[in-house]
Structures are given as C-alpha cells and as structure tokens.
C-alpha cells in the first residue's frame, strides 16, 4: 500500500526511484496494480500489450462469481480488449521511468462511473460488505486472478 497517491503519486514514485537499481526491479517481469479492485461487477484491465496473453489465460481459469459457471474470460473478455494504460496510479513510475510492463485490473460499476462513496466517510468495510461486494465474491475472484497471473509470470527460469 502506497501513501501520497492523491498528492502526485509521491509514495510510489519515491519507492520506484529509491529501488530502481535493486536486484528485485532489475529482474522484474511485471507490476500488477489493483488500485480500486472492486467497486462494481464489470471487469476491465489496462496494461502493456505484452501482458495480454497471460491475462487472457488467467481470466479463462478464474470463475465468474455470478454463479453461471462461466469464466471471467467468457463473462467479460469476449473481445479481448486490453485497454491502454494512462497515468494517475501507482504503476506510472514503473512503466514511465523504469520500463517495467504493468497491468491494472478492476471490477467497476456497469455504468463506468466511479463508485459514489470513493474517498468519502462512507467508503468503508460496512459499505463494501452490504453494497459494494456482498459476500466479497468479486474480491475473491480478483485475488485468484492476481495470484494466478503472478504465478504464471514467475514461471520457470528455463
């Protein structure tokens, strides 16, 4: 968790700059970003095109939590559209300054609008539990997806 995001990405940018020459970042395969992981039911992703295949494969292996038996790929990725990364989130310094491939994933409202309680006093566990993601089923799906992508990117040295 980074601090200072709303003030110009200060926390993450400082971290990326401080550790740019570390063995971890010199060998980084990707940075997986989940800024607002769940605020609705529509999955979308933005990222570096080189990560499109691993994302599509992982989406095919994670069940859509609506109980239909479909995968996330079947439910949300019929066109396979990986959107272009913009800026304004903690991946910015990784991709812009260090050239590390990045992927940003979220479940958002169907309307595409930001969810109404973001950064308010109502943005709470209670709101998420009762309104945002009752049962936290999309949180579980996001954790499965993130973990599967991380495992596949870690891969094998050969």
Question: What is the per-residue burial (b if ≥16 Cβ within 10 Å, else e) of 89-101?
Answer: bbbbbbbeebebb
| Cα separations in angstroms, 18 against 14, 103, 106, 128 | 6, 22, 28, 34
In the annotation, is 5 catalytic?
yes
User: Are 105 and 37 within 8 A, CB to CB?
Assistant: yes
Kindly state the tokens that stand for 76: 């949300």
Residue with tokens 């006093």, as numbered in its chain: 121
Kindly state the tokens that stand for 90: 């903690």
Question: Catalytic site residues?
Answer: 5
């Amino acid at each position: 968790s980074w601090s200072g995001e709303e003030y110009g990405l200060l926390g993450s940018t400082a971290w990326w700059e401080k550790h740019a020459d570390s063995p971890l970042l010199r060998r980084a395969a990707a940075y997986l970003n989940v800024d607002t992981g769940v605020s609705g039911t529509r999955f979308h992703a933005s990222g570096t095109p080189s990560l499109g295949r691993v994302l599509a494969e992982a989406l095919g292996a994670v069940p859509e939590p609506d109980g239909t038996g479909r995968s996330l790929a079947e439910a949300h990725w019929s066109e396979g559209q990986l959107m272009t990364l913009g800026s304004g989130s903690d991946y910015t310094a990784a991709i812009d300054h260090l050239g590390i491939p990045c992927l940003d994933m979220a479940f958002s409202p169907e309307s595409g609008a930001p969810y109404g309680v973001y950064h308010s006093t109502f943005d709470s566990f209670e709101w998420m539990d009762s309104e945002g993601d009752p049962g936290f089923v999309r949180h579980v799906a996001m954790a499965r997806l993130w973990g599967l992508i991380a495992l596949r990117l870690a891969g094998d040295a050969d």
